[in-house]
Amino acid sequence: MAEPAAARPHPEELPMHTHADGEYEMPSVEALLAGTLALMTGHAQSACSHQRGLMAQKIGANLCCLSRHPALSSNFKTVVERMRAHWAVFAQSITDPTPSWATSSTRLQ
């Protein structure tokens, strides 16, 4: 049985420990979200279409995990699921682009 919302600590109240090497230890959902945001930043900054395609696929997979994570509210899961659907289309367009000549309306003479 799930504990009442009032009994659960707010995410900001959860301890975040720092290791000697500067790494942070976070709750799994926060680590997954932080990793996904880092991938989105990398995707925006990358000029390599192959890397962008791989990152887009991983972003979609992470968003899928977030959309099913038990620690998140149903409203947040809905938003993340919509984002996942958009990234899936985006990832497909990067990894399997239609050549420009295939959609051109110009006819060869």
Q: What residue spans define the domains of the chain?
A: 48-96
Cα 40 from Cα 28, distance rounded (Å)? 18
For 26-74, how does the pLDDT look when each residue is reduced to its tens digit (9 = 90+)? Answer: 788 999 999 999 999 999 999 998 899 899 999 999 999 999 999 999 9
Q: Cβ atoms within 10 A of the Cβ of 66, count?
A: 21
pLDDT at residue 57, rounded to an integer: 92
Which residue carries 């990894």 as its tokens?
95
Of 98, 93, 27, nearest to 60 by C-alpha is 93
Q: Tell me the average pLDDT of the chain.
A: 79
> Helices 74-95 and 49-67 sit at what angle, rounded to 10 degrees?
160
pLDDT at residue 1, rounded to an integer: 44
